[in-house]
A = this chain, B = another copy of it.
Amino acid sequence: MVREPGSAGRPKASSRGTIEEAAAELFLEQSYSGTTIEEITQRAGVSRATFFNYFESKSDLLWIDADRAIERLSECLASGMRVGDAIARAASEVGAERVPLAVSQAEVMGTREELVASGFARVARVTALIRSALANEWVEERDSLAVNVRANALAGAVIAAWGAWIRGGVDRLTLLEYTHDALALVQLEQ
């Protein structure tokens, strides 16, 4: 009856990585908004429907690296790490070997409302994670103005560090270094 989950069924055609690569190429060639999902899946040799098996939306493609870091942050916080440590840990695990896709599209992102909105989903998630953890650390209601303001400031610092790292160009520091500086500016350690 009960089988081990991964064993049965048609195997994946390794589509996810293929789609990511095709998208990265096309975004560089034609820009994000100039590329349709149809084009991406055609180059990846996959049907349009398959795209939505792997991604919830087109804009997810721009936030793959950010989403991984956020996922790490969530895990660290869930395991009981203090907020500052969790942020540092998650930041330290974002390698410099790969240029985030959002970087190359940075100029497009400024203008396009859709991208800005999709970015906010990430900001909102980071903020919510931090807010929740802060409310635990201090014993305070989650919706108090103080917790919200503090969470927004911390999240803002994280975002600013991410942005500085993105804009840093080839001689950029590590994300951890930017993050450290940014947190110091909002006096994380009280």
List the interface of chain A (C-beta within 8 A of B).
Answer: 57, 113, 116-121, 123-124, 143, 145-146, 148-153, 155-157, 159-161, 163-164, 167, 178, 181-182, 185-186
Q: Are B145 and A164 in contact (CB under 8 A)?
A: yes
17 new A-B contacts, CB < 8 A, other than A152-B156, A155-B156, are A113-B121, A116-B124, A117-B121, A119-B120, A123-B123, A143-B167, A145-B181, A145-B185, A148-B164, A149-B186, A151-B156, A151-B160, A152-B153, A153-B153, A153-B156, A156-B156, A186-B186
Chain B residues with Cβ below 8 Å from A124 are: 116-117, 120
16 contacts between A and B (CB under 8 A): A57-B113, A117-B121, A120-B120, A120-B123, A120-B124, A145-B161, A145-B164, A148-B164, A149-B157, A149-B182, A149-B185, A149-B186, A150-B185, A151-B160, A152-B152, A152-B153
Instruction: Label chain A's interface by main secondary structure.
Output: helix
Chain B residues with Cβ below 8 Å from A181 are: 145
Chain B residues with Cβ below 8 Å from A120 are: 116-117, 119-121, 123-124
Chain B residues with Cβ below 8 Å from A146 are: 185
Nearest B residue to A145 via CB reads B164
Q: Which of B143, B153, B159, B164 contacts A186 (CB 8 A)?
A: B153
Chain B residues with Cβ below 8 Å from A117 are: 117-118, 120-121, 124
Nearest B residue to A183 via CB reads B149
CB-based closest 3 A-B pairs = A120-B120, A152-B156, A148-B160
Nearest B residue to A164 via CB reads B145
> Complex Cα distance A146/B181, Å?
9
Chain B residues with Cβ below 8 Å from A163 are: 148
Given contacts A150-B185, A153-B152, A185-B150, contact A145 B160 (CB under 8 A): yes
